[in-house]
Chains A and B, each alone.
Chain A
Amino acid sequence: MIELAEGPRMMSNLINVAPDPKVIRCDMPVEVVFTKINDDITLPLFQPEGAR
């Protein structure tokens, strides 16, 4: 679950991070990565701030 800086919350996926509860913490800062799934669909996914 992502809480946007503007206030609303949304479900998404974290990318560019190990799927490990020791690494993924509540309230860690993340940033959006618009990820093309196919020609019709692009999803807003999130990565740790500054990753990659």
Chain B
Amino acid sequence: MKELRNVACIVGADESDEIGILPGKSQLSLHLEAITNAVRDAGLKVKDVDGIFTAGQHSPALIGEALGIRPRVVDGTTVGGCSFIIMVGHAVAALHHGMCDVAVVTHGESGKSQVGVSPRRDTSLVGQYETPYGFGGAPTFFGMITTRHMHVYGTTLEQWAQVAVSTRKWAALNPKARNREPLTVKDVLDSRPVVWPFNILNICLVTDAGGAVVLTRADRAKDCAKKAVFVRGAGEGSEHVMLTQMRNLTFSEATRLSGEKAFAMAGVKGSDFNHIMLYDAFTSGPPLMLESLGLAKRGEGAHFFAEGRSTPGGKLPINTNGGGLSYTHSGMYGIFPIIEAARQLRGEGGARQVPNATLSLVNGMGGMLSAAGTLVLSNER
């Protein structure tokens, strides 16, 4: 994998025209807006795109048809919300081998308004063996992971709440974030209970949104409109689908695998990063990811948030867009942490810009820590 280090760059990154509650837009429209915006951001044209990477209900073939192009590479790897993070790695490999020249990784989901969404009929093992007992929504599953963590390590509800509070401080600085008003630990603890141990403010938003990033080889990236963001490392992993098959509920093997591969490819260690983006569908997610990636000792991931390191002005900013908790979460959130990392590394963060951001970690999960993707991004070689 080392030969893939820095061979390709993110040269364009943007959301759909709007994100939020959008009953007038189909999820295909959200895809197309995001692609158009990201390609423009790169200083390229849609007709330049010849590789399409996407996950979710719409196949890359459909995206190609809707764009009026004939892609040479299509990849529809769908292993949950981290799929877009994983596909950046796939795109790097395809670009390196000349299978395509301009790759777009795209997401569009009408998660709230459900416009242009196909109804799902669940005949999976989860549907057969878990849903009949009342399990179905993600909070019911992730609640068990979280409860187990509290049992094994003594983690508290206050510690999880700190993650929401830290993330909201960043959202206050992002004009695109949905929830920007100040938040306290008490607000989280007093909010409406959903499923133990989660109150509503422990759980991500449900929105409609699109996002896309454009990649090309490093030699060509020089000619694009903005500062290139190098993909130094990329890794993926998968452990389980049904939560009963997860070996240790408090530690994600998929996350560990993806991180080890990405760090080795990039030649970095966990303590090198000065900006971190983690998939926060639930407040307990980022601490568990830090532990599984080896950045925190087991049981101590929440310390990163409680000690104020992760907040604006802190030494290790985490989830600077306001996260799935306060910025946007359309369902498969994984494209958005990549977009934010690219913006920070280009110095486009505005009020939330992390000073001297040079090395960014992007990590996301699919399903219930079932699959995972990790990226190491940098604005220098």
Contact A1 B144 (CB under 8 A): yes
- A51 close to chain B: CB less than 8 A: no
Encoded as 1 (CB less than 8 Å from any A CB) or 0, chain B from 115 to 157 comes to 0000000000000011011110000000010011001100000
Chain B residue nearest to A21 (CB atoms) is B196
Contact B197 A27 (CB under 8 A): no
Bound-state CA distance A36–B135 (Å) is: 19
Bound-state CA distance A32–B261 (Å) is: 43
Query: B244: which of A10, A13, A21, A43 is its contact (CB, 8 Å)?
Result: A10
Encoded as 1 (CB less than 8 Å from any B CB) or 0, chain A from 36 to 52 comes to 00000001000000000
- A26 close to chain B: CB less than 8 A: yes
Known: A1-B243, A21-B197. A10 touches B144 (CB 8 A): no
The SS class assigned to the B binding surface is: helix
Contact B134 A13 (CB under 8 A): yes
Known: A10-B129, A11-B129. A25 touches B244 (CB 8 A): no
Which of the four size classes fits the interface of chain A? 10 to 19
Bound-state CA distance A30–B241 (Å) is: 25
Contact B148 A26 (CB under 8 A): yes
Contact B244 A1 (CB under 8 A): yes
Known: A1-B144, A1-B244, A13-B134. A25 touches B129 (CB 8 A): no
Contacts of B244 in A (CB 8 A): 1, 8-11
Query: A13: which of B133, B147, B152, B197 is its contact (CB, 8 Å)?
Result: B133
Chain B residue nearest to A26 (CB atoms) is B151
Chain A residue nearest to B131 (CB atoms) is A11
Contacts of A13 in B (CB 8 A): 133-134
The SS class assigned to the A binding surface is: loop
Bound-state CA distance A1–B242 (Å) is: 11
Contacts of B245 in A (CB 8 A): 9
Contacts of B147 in A (CB 8 A): 21, 26
Chain A residue nearest to B244 (CB atoms) is A9
Bound-state CA distance A21–B130 (Å) is: 21
Encoded as 1 (CB less than 8 Å from any B CB) or 0, chain A from 13 to 31 comes to 1000000010001110000
Name B residues whose Cβ lies closer than 8 Å to a Cβ of A.
129-130, 132-135, 144, 147-148, 151-152, 196-197, 243-245, 249
Q: List 26 A-B contacts (CB under 8 A).
A: A1-B144, A1-B243, A1-B249, A8-B244, A9-B244, A9-B245, A10-B129, A10-B244, A11-B129, A11-B133, A11-B135, A11-B243, A11-B244, A12-B133, A13-B133, A13-B134, A21-B147, A21-B196, A21-B197, A25-B151, A26-B148, A26-B151, A26-B152, A27-B151, A43-B132, A43-B133
The 6 closest A-B pairs by CB, nearest first: A26-B151, A9-B244, A11-B130, A11-B133, A21-B196, A13-B133
